[in-house]
């Protein structure tokens, strides 16, 4: 069983996050920030309410942040309010029914110092936005970048949780290798992996497991039964207390061919080259360039683009969004304590789609892998 004891002072960690956000608000001359979250959790999107409260909502939620002093959390549905009060990041919590959310938020927002800004335009539904506009009698400016601008790197509490999520991902892949067998349906294999990770502490999972003798891309598990020789690709992404880690690996149900081994070795070299450049002060785009140099250099330059691959890695929401996708054309400068998955996942005409990737944290000397599954092609003969 994975030991998931937490050793960091979460309350102090959350207080530090709020203080950094409030300093940024003062710098941008924002008196009060209204942070809207719809409750539609997404691996590639930051949950800004969660980041400041440690509360992962059921329904629509709004956090009201003054430029100094404590924040107020308004949650729906009302019956979930006690769970929100248990969260370490906020003490002023109110529960309301969904129909009362806008009215309650607008009344509370009047207590905030001005000028106000709103975060959440990119997720707020048309109908909710219309209610806010009517109630406020004004359109608020977009404050959606204030919190992400001070949340590019992970705090000690966040790193600890991402480490736990990584250990759970390793456990999930171990169970995949152990339980995969000919005749099993893809969704049955996914269920085994899911259950093992939930039992180990996972509360959610961006999990994709697919199989075939020539995969085009990763996809959700279907009703297809596993066959001898199948290449099983897994994007295993458990969440532990709001933080995701991702492990990408490839498993063959039978003996791999020489070509499969050779091409997978190329992906390993690409991962190693990409990891070697992932240091503080370096553009994140350099990771993608390094990966593509290896794969392109092996004669697959034309495959280093969609639809043969999507990206060479990415950050993982809910609490983290920087550096976003790892592509050659754009990206921030890497900083110590940024976390991301680096994955040279690739379609190749000889093998189909194969996957390899690890969650890493950027440290002074380079990236430290948080997922620990061996970096190799896995297989078993029945």
Q: How far apart are CA 340 and CA 79, in angstroms?
A: 35
SS3 22: helix
Enter the tokens of residue 64. Answer: 């009201």
Enter the tokens of residue 246. Answer: 């991702």
Among 8, 88, 123, 177, binds other proteins (CB under 8 A): 123
For 254, phi then psi, to 5°, come to: 140, -175
Q: Should residue 94 be labelled a site residue for other proteins when binding is judged by CB under 8 A?
A: no
Q: Should residue 6 be labelled a site residue for other proteins when binding is judged by CB under 8 A?
A: no
Q: Which stretch binds other proteins (CB under 8 A): 17-25, 117-125, 262-270, 357-365?
A: 117-125
Q: Should residue 127 be labelled a site residue for other proteins when binding is judged by CB under 8 A?
A: yes
For 98, phi then psi, to 5°, come to: -55, -35
Among 16, 31, 77, 229, binds other proteins (CB under 8 A): 77
> Which has the closest alpha carbon to 60: 45, 85, 32, 40?
40
**For residues 57 and 359, which CB has a smaller minimum distance to other proteins in the complex?**
57
**For residues 203 and 335, which CB has a smaller minimum distance to other proteins in the complex?**
203
Region for residue 334 given its phi and psi (left: phi exceeds 0; alpha: psi -120 to 50; beta: otherwise): beta
> Which has the closest alpha carbon to 202: 241, 162, 170, 160?
241
Contact 231, 352 (CB under 8 A): yes
Q: In sequence order, what are the beta bridge partners of 34?
A: 64, 118
Q: Should residue 325 be labelled a site residue for other proteins when binding is judged by CB under 8 A?
A: no
**Minimum distance, C-beta of residue 196 to other proteins, in the bound complex (Å):** 8
Site for other proteins in 189-248 (CB under 8 A): 190-192, 194-196, 198-199, 201, 203-208, 216-217, 219-223, 237, 239, 244
Q: Which stretch binds other proteins (CB under 8 A): 14-22, 73-81, 163-171, 364-372?
A: 73-81
Running DSSP on this structure, what letter comes out for residue 78?
Answer: G
Note the residues at the interface with other proteins (CB under 8 A): 38-43, 56-59, 76-83, 121-130, 185-188, 190-192, 194-196, 198-199, 201, 203-208, 216-217, 219-223, 237, 239, 244, 306-308, 310, 317-318, 347
């Amino acid at each position: 069983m994975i030991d998931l004891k937490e050793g960091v002072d979460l309350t102090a960690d959350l207080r530090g996050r709020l203080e950094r956000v409030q300093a940024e608000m003062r710098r941008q001359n924002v008196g009060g920030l209204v942070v809207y979250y719809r409750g539609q959790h997404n691996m590639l999107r930051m949950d800004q309410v969660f980041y400041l409260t440690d509360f992962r909502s059921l329904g629509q939620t709004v956090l009201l942040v003054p430029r100094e002093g404590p924040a107020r959390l308004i949650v729906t549905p009302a019956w979930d309010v006690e769970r929100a009060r248990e969260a370490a990041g906020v003490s002023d919590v109110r529960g309301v029914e969904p129909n009362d959310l806008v009215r309650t938020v607008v009344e509370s927002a009047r207590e905030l110092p001005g000028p106000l800004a709103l975060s959440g335009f990119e997720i707020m539904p048309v109908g909710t936005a219309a209610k806010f506009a009517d109630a406020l009698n004004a359109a608020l400016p977009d404050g959606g970048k204030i919190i992400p601008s001070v949340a590019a790197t992970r705090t000690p509490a966040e790193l600890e949780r991402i480490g736990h999520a990584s250990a759970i991902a390793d456990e999930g892949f171990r169970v995949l290798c152990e339980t995969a067998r000919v005749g099993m349906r893809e969704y049955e294999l996914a269920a085994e992996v899911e259950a093992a990770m939930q039992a180990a502490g996972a509360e959610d999972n961006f999990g994709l497991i697919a199989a075939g003798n020539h995969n085009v891309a990763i996809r959700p598990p279907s009703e297809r039964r596993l066959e001898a020789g199948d290449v099983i690709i897994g994007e295993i992404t458990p969440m532990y207390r709001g933080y995701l880690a991702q492990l990408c690996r490839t498993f063959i149900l039978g003996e791999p061919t020489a070509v499969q081994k050779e091409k997978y070795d190329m992906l390993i070299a690409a991962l190693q080259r990409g990891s070697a450049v992932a240091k503080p002060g370096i553009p994140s785009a350099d990771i993608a360039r390094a990966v593509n140099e290896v794969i392109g250099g092996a004669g697959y330059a034309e495959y280093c683009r969609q639809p043969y691959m999507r990206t060479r890695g990415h950050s993982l929401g809910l609490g983290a969004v920087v550096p976003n996708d790892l592509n050659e054309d754009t990206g921030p400068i890497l900083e110590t304590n940024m976390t991301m998955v680096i994955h040279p996942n690739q379609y190749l005409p000889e093998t189909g789609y194969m996957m390899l990737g690890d969650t890493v944290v950027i440290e002074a000397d380079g990236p430290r892998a948080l997922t620990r599954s061996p970096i190799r092609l896995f297989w078993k003969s029945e």
